[in-house]
Structure 1
Amino acid sequence: MNIPFLDNWRKRQGGTRAVTLAETAATDPAGLAEVLAECELLRVRAESGGLELDDTPGSLTALDQLPPRWRDDPEEVPWMGNDAGLYLGTVLVRTVPGARWDIWPSGQPVVLLASGREIDVVGAGLDWAVYGSPELSQVYAEAAEE
């Protein structure tokens, strides 16, 4: 998975070799959570809409109410969806007991719930960015019930 800000994070870590998300998940779960929580494009778009993302379930509800102006730019839609999914995952990991980041062999970040269920948060974010459904708050609510 190509995550543009990952290069900046790698530089901050002082490493010269490529660090994969899977290696980071195994050796530095907090570092992985930090990387995945950046969601720079989403945070900029939310702020321009008057919304501060505070990594809480309430912010997911507020995001669901944003006018989907990113749909006017077909190149922005997948980036916005990726960031929305990573933000959804960030909220889940920070607020749902036992939830944690995991990395599929393909490199896709997912959230693993205490029940063992995996949530493809990036897929959910892409659906939200393209179609508006399912709402991010709905995905969160269903996951938090487990």
Structure 2
Amino acid sequence: MKIPFLGHRSEKPGSFDPEGIAELLSECDLLRSQASRSGVRLDDTAASLEALDQLLPGWRGDEEILPWLGNDAGLYLGTVIVRTVSGAVWEIRADGQPVVRLDSGREFDVVASGQEWAVSGAPELSQLYAEVAES
């Protein structure tokens, strides 16, 4: 996911208002709507990732919704990581791709992971979270 409306910044790549971008990236309206219709409440916790992993993937047959839902799933995964893993922060690459960076410097392309999850269900979002939380 590129974020073109952030426009050209005179600041160095990756610098932004962390709270503002975190709020923007956490919206995930399509995923939240799909989850709510299935009775799953997304409360930005690891438990909600487990609940998402249990959803029946009715979206897989819809080529229009699939990429958007995958994008939202990745952003939601990133939101949970940033809010619950000490030292995890959002970073926007020079190409506009949002990633999660840990204190260790390790970087996670959560959007790519979310898109893989939406298409195939694997790896599970909760597994990805566990891997990051243990890093």
TM-score by length of 1: 0.85
Whether 1:80 aligns to 2:69 is yes
Structure 2 unmatched runs, 5+: none
Structure 1 unmatched runs, 5+: 7-17
Matching residue within 50, 53, 67 for 1:61: 50
Partner secondary structure for residue 38 of structure 1: coil
Which structure ranks higher in relative contact order (CA pairs < 8 Å, sequence separation ≥ 6)? 2
- Report the count of equivalent residues: 133
Structure richer in helix, relative to its length: 1
One-letter amino acid of the structure 2 residue matched with residue 116 of structure 1:
G
Whether 1:137 aligns to 2:99 is no
Following superposition of structure 1 onto structure 2, how do residues 20-35 of structure 1 map, counting pairs within 5 Å? 20=7, 26-35=15-24
Q: For residues 44 and 97 of structure 1, do their structure 2 counterparts lie closer, same or farther at Cα, with a shift above 3 Å needed? A: same
What is the RMSD computed on CA atoms of the aligned residues? 2.0
Distance 1:95 1:78 in 2: 26
Q: Percent identity?
A: 61
Partner secondary structure for residue 76 of structure 2: helix
Partner secondary structure for residue 94 of structure 2: coil
Q: For residues 61 and 20 of structure 1, do their structure 2 counterparts lie closer, same or farther at Cα, with a shift above 3 Å needed? A: farther
| Match in the other structure for 1:11 | none
Matching residue within 75, 83, 86 for 1:94: 83
Q: For residues 67 and 21 of structure 1, do their structure 2 counterparts lie closer, same or farther at Cα, with a shift above 3 Å needed? A: farther
**Stretches of 4+ aligned residues off by more than 6 angstroms:** none
TM-score by length of 2: 0.91
Partner secondary structure for residue 83 of structure 1: helix
